[in-house]
Amino acid sequence: MLRPNAHDVRRRDFLRWLAASPLLASAGGIATLEPLIAQEAPRRVFDDIVQSAEDALDIWDLQRAAEVTVPPAHYGYIMTGVDGEETYANNRSALEQLRLRARRLVDVSNLDTSVNIFGRKWDTPIMIAPCGSQRAFHAEGELAVARAASSRQHLQTLSTVSSTAVEEVNEARGEPVWYQLYLSPVGPGSWEGATALMQRSQDAGCPTIVYTVDLQGGSNRVTLERYSRDDNRTCTNCHTPGGRAGGPKPMLRGLPRGTPDPGLGRSTTWETIPRLRDATNQKFIIKGIMTAEDAELCLRYGVDGIWVSNHGGRAEGSGQATIDALPEISEAIAGSIPIVVDSGFRRGSDIVKGIARGATAVAVGRPYLWGLGAFGQEGVEKALDILTREMEITMRAVGAPSLSDLGPHTIATS
């Protein structure tokens, strides 16, 4: 055990413990990490306020708490984008710069925030994005997230590189999650491995495969490297000496090796999609789409849904914000298949903007990871509650009693 659980230690005591920690002495203190990634919004700091999940007033309160409780290298893994964080910043600034048009004197006494995806009704459009290695942020990792998402009925997608197997996550959640698929180099590098992974998730009851395509070229995670260099602990629980992650993740263990497939990896093209599509009965979504051209290809190749994403700024550097990519993509899709969007959504008003620009649902990554890292299941629940409350207030404020009342008219043109 490297650190006390935030549940057990009041934050003030915890900060005191941390200040005395050799970990910080070697890293030169948390202050040295701050210039690497600024807080996402200007704010006055009330250091003692967030001692429990209940205290958090917005998502950034959870971020600040997680920055204290999560070990530096793991916090760096959450925070990192690529290069100098331009894509990460673009996601936020584009959302912040969009202005809402508010209609008045509309009856907003009854709100309908429900969405229908693949014939199933969800009470909320806010989804849990797939994020790997969640036990690096809290001992209960994916199980805490599953319990939190289930308690509020949020749709959840589990990563290929989860630190908990899909069967256990489904059991904690009480129903199957959606399953995210990586192919080589992050996931299985053979066709046999890929189909075995899909088959395993199908056998576990997962109704949908989310195939992530935005890391095919690799990614330049400078911020992660900087945080890692600031973290001198030796932790052999999950790491080999030298700090690299240990053996394969649970879902990648024991997969048939098969023949390394040159069509899976850097050279994968759209031609692989029908092959993957036909290998499963599950619904098939592609995650990482950023252009109308690729949205049209999704339609041509019979994909069931698309997920607009730049991996939260972790894929291409100097990338466009997803909220800015949405209009051309929703025009190309013209309502024929569901669109999920993520990357940089931190406020209920951001969720409203995503739906207004044509998304069916909005997924979040870091907001719930910060909650998880700071306070476990309660922190994830708090992140979801904050976003839900803010979204509902915004819907009432702009005179939209249901999500279908949001549209391009909700966004100001200047």
The alpha carbon of residue 130 and the mean position of all alpha carbons in its chain are separated, in whole angstroms, by: 5
With beta carbons less than 8 A apart as the criterion, state whether 358 and 70 touch: no
Q: Using CB under 6 A, which of 50, 131, 145, 329 touches ligand FMN?
A: 131
Peptide bond into 185 cis (omega under 30): yes
From CA 12, how far away is CA 18, in angstroms rounded? 10
Q: Using CB under 6 A, which of 60, 75, 77, 227 touches ligand FMN?
A: 77
195 binds ligand FMN (CB under 6 A): no
- Pick out residues in 371-400 that bind ligand FMN (CB under 6 A): none
CB of 134 to ligand FMN, least distance (A): 8
Tokens 């290695």 sit on residue = 133
3-state helix, strand, coil in the chain (%, to 5): 45, 10, 45
CB of 322 to ligand FMN, least distance (A): 8
Helices 72-79 and 59-69: angle between axes, nearest 10 degrees: 150
Q: Catalytic pick from 74, 138, 154, 311?
A: 311
CA-wise closest residue to 369 among 178, 133, 175, 48: 133
130 binds ligand FMN (CB under 6 A): yes
- Pick out residues in 330-349 that bind ligand FMN (CB under 6 A): 342-345
Amino acid at 396: R
Binding segment toward ligand FMN, per CB under 6 A, in 124-132, 168-176, 197-205, 262-270: 124-132
161 binds ligand FMN (CB under 6 A): yes
CB of 414 to ligand FMN, least distance (A): 26
From CA 142, how far away is CA 130, in angstroms rounded? 10
Rank residues 97 and 404 by Cβ distance to ligand FMN and give the closer one.
97
- Pick out residues in 266-305 that bind ligand FMN (CB under 6 A): 287
Told to judge if 239 belongs to the known catalytic residues of this protein, a careful annotator would answer no
Rank residues 319 and 405 by Cβ distance to ligand FMN and give the closer one.
319
Bridge partners (DSSP) of residue 190 are 260
Q: Using CB under 6 A, which of 189, 193, 319, 365 touches ligand FMN?
A: 365
CB of 287 to ligand FMN, least distance (A): 5
CA atoms within 13 A on the CB side of 411: 22
**Per-residue DSSP letters for 67-91?**
HHHS-HHHHHHHH--STTSHHHHHH
Q: Read off the tokens for 171.
A: 């059991």
CB of 191 to ligand FMN, least distance (A): 20
Residues making contact with ligand FMN (CB under 6 A):
77-78, 129-132, 159, 161, 180, 212, 287, 309, 311-312, 342-345, 364-366, 369
Which residues have a catalytic role annotated? 311
